[in-house]
Amino acid sequence: MYNGHKRYAMFIGRWQPFHNGHKYLIDNAITQGQDVCIALRDTEISDKNPYTINQRAEMIRRVYGNKVKVAVIPDIASINIGRKVGYDVNRIDPPKQIEKISGTNVRSGVDNNVPTEVSEYIKTLQTTLWITGLPCAGKSTLAKGIKEELDNRGYKAIHLDGDDLRGKLNADLGFSVKDRKENLRRVAHIAKLFNENGNFVIASFISPSNQLRKMVADIVGNFRLVYARCSLETCEKRDVKGMYKKARSGEIREFTGVSAPFEEPDNGSIVVDTENNNLEDCVKRILKEMKI
């Protein structure tokens, strides 16, 4: 972090989130030719402090790149100095329009007082990433891989899986066209609630038609679709539960890919080839497309 004998102007705060008030002060120091170090207080997660250290550092990086240094400090209660400490401790009085910026309003989206890069990043933190594909195309495996990577990066990530919800919350539903639609409608509202509470949601559901995916997208709002593309032949070979075999014998009716149709997504989705690429490459591609 420390670069030789270079001396920095330090700005200490929570940065929950980084907004234009912070940017004004830092830009002013940079304009004066000062090198800047931003100290992030390691605060506990709460309603007033919803973003992790990694997320706050990423907000700053998206605005300044490598132009400033970022350091993490404990959640200090006071700053105490003696005489002749070797640096200046300055109070900076910002303009009135900066003083009026409310961190609470910024977090709740009431105003637009964040740089565009940060605004887009915060929006990404509250996205539903919806993975569609044939049975056994690797949707759940892909979702778990994405969640693990996001967890390692400090995101608040939730995985909603078709098998889990089918056996619990939506156990009353069958596999008719009407029940499939109702299953996805319920899941979409759950995803939206998690998003509104600051969670990144990964949902892995067959969702076989463009009409159903559009319904989900309309409910969720902040929605990205991922198509786990895999041939029917390979999906059948991967089927350790024997579902395809049962479907072809007529034991399972209305089975997607065999006795019920699957429509490939319209343009606009993120497409990953789960047949020919490994999990790590697929996860990297998705997160790169999401700019995470």
Each residue's pLDDT expressed in tens, for the chain with a length of 292 residues: 445 567 789 999 999 999 988 998 999 999 999 999 999 999 998 888 888 898 999 999 999 999 999 999 999 888 888 877 778 888 877 777 766 666 666 666 656 788 888 888 888 889 999 999 999 999 999 999 999 999 988 888 999 997 788 878 888 887 788 988 999 999 999 999 999 888 999 999 999 999 999 999 999 999 999 999 999 999 999 998 899 999 998 888 888 989 889 999 987 789 999 999 999 999 999 999 998 8
Residues in the chain: 292
Do the beta carbons of residue 45 and residue 52 sit within 8 Å?
A: yes
Residues 211 and 271 occupy one common structural domain: yes
Residues 183 and 79 occupy one common structural domain: no
Pull the structure tokens for residue 100.
């009026």
Query: Among the three residues 115, 150, 177, which one is the final residue of a domain in this structure?
Result: 115
Distance CA 184, CA 206 (A): 10
Residues 84 and 152 occupy one common structural domain: no
Residues 279 and 210 occupy one common structural domain: yes
The verdict on residue 235 lying in a domain is: yes
The verdict on residue 207 lying in a domain is: yes
Residues 106 and 78 occupy one common structural domain: yes
pLDDT at res. 191 = 96
The verdict on residue 120 lying in a domain is: no
Helix boundaries (H) for the chain: 20-31, 53-64, 96-99, 103-108, 116-125, 139-152, 162-167, 177-196, 210-220, 232-238, 243-249, 279-289
Sign of CA dihedral 138, 141, 144, 146: negative
Residues 164 and 271 occupy one common structural domain: yes
The verdict on residue 121 lying in a domain is: no
Residues 206 and 79 occupy one common structural domain: no
The verdict on residue 201 lying in a domain is: yes
Query: Among the three residues 83, 115, 147, which one is the final residue of a domain in this structure?
Result: 115
Pull the structure tokens for residue 5.
């004998």
Residues 174 and 257 occupy one common structural domain: yes
The verdict on residue 3 lying in a domain is: no
Distance CA 157, CA 259 (A): 34
Pull the structure tokens for residue 271.
């497409």
Q: What is the pTM of this model?
A: 0.77
Pull the structure tokens for residue 147.
């969640």
Distance CA 177, CA 254 (A): 9
Distance CA 28, CA 11 (A): 12
Q: How many CB atoms sit inside 10 A of residue 25's CB?
A: 17
235-241 contacts at long range (C-beta below 8 A, 24 or more positions apart): 235/134, 235/135, 235/136, 235/137, 236/136, 238/136, 238/138, 239/135, 239/136
Boundaries of domain holding 154: 126-289
One of 119, 140, 204, 207 is an active-site residue; which one? 207
**Is 163 in a helix, a strand, or coil?**
helix
Residues 94 and 218 occupy one common structural domain: no
Residues 228 and 84 occupy one common structural domain: no
User: In 3D, which of 38, 94, 90 has the Cα closest to residue 64?
Assistant: 38
Residues 173 and 238 occupy one common structural domain: yes
176 among known catalytic residues: no
pLDDT at res. 222 = 93
The verdict on residue 262 lying in a domain is: yes
Residues 165 and 131 occupy one common structural domain: yes
Query: Among the three residues 70, 89, 115, which one is the final residue of a domain in this structure?
Result: 115
Sign of CA dihedral 48, 51, 56, 58: negative
pLDDT at res. 100 = 67
The verdict on residue 1 lying in a domain is: no
pLDDT at res. 208 = 93
Type of residue numbered 224: R
pLDDT at res. 1 = 45
